[in-house]
Structure 1
Amino acid sequence: MEMYNPPHPGEVLKELYLPEGMGVSEAAKKLGVSRQTLSAIINGRAGISADMALRLSKALGTSADLWLKMQIKYDLWQAKQKPPKGVQKLAA
């Protein structure tokens, strides 16, 4: 069954995985990325790349697949809200 309006992975990261009281700057430093990069993810302005998924899996003890699957579910649901126009079948 398809999830209705899945959360952005950044929201999940912020709400469930970042230790309480840890700022974005400190978390970004521990992940080896810029504060701007992590902030964009947490605030839903950027997605989880394969590289970021590997960083999160190592830092949090999760799997990279978890983060990439969350991102795919989010992206696909968002795309389905505005289906592409002008697409025709390639074969008869």
Structure 2
Amino acid sequence: MTRNKQLPVKHPGHVFRERVLNRKGMTISEAAKKLRIYRQYLKNFTEGKAPITVSLASNIALFTGISVEFWVRLQSTYDVYMNSRYHA
């Protein structure tokens, strides 16, 4: 299966912010407490400055019901996209 080239590739942190935090009306601080992670790390993640790790993906999966695999795949797709742009 190939990716639709018309769809933008987003960092998983942006997706998390838009689809989870914004829809739940949560702040970074509130979410960090629920996820049991540092607020600054979550802030960097939602700004696209830090990658998702399997550990963070597991926490997010428990919090949202969205699978670990989804979040890890999103990061992988983003990494491949950014790498291809860099080497183009």
TM-score normalised by length of structure 2: 0.88
Alpha-carbon shift at residue 83 of structure 1 (Å): 2.2
Which of 25, 41, 48 is equivalent to 2:45? 41
* Aligned partner of 2:9 among 6, 10, 15: 6
Seen in structure 2, the aligned counterparts of structure 1 residues 14 and 31 have a Cα distance that, compared at 3 Å, is same
How many residue pairs match? The answer is 83
Larger Rg: 1
Deviation at 1:3, TM superposition (A): 4.2
Higher helix share: 2
Q: Report % sequence identity.
A: 33
Quick one: which amino acid aligns to residue 7 of structure 1?
A: K
Structure 1, unaligned runs of 5 or more: 85-92
Cα RMSD, aligned residues only: 1.4
Deviations 1:41-76 (A, max 9, x none): 000000100000000000111100000000000011
- TM-score, reference length from structure 1: 0.84
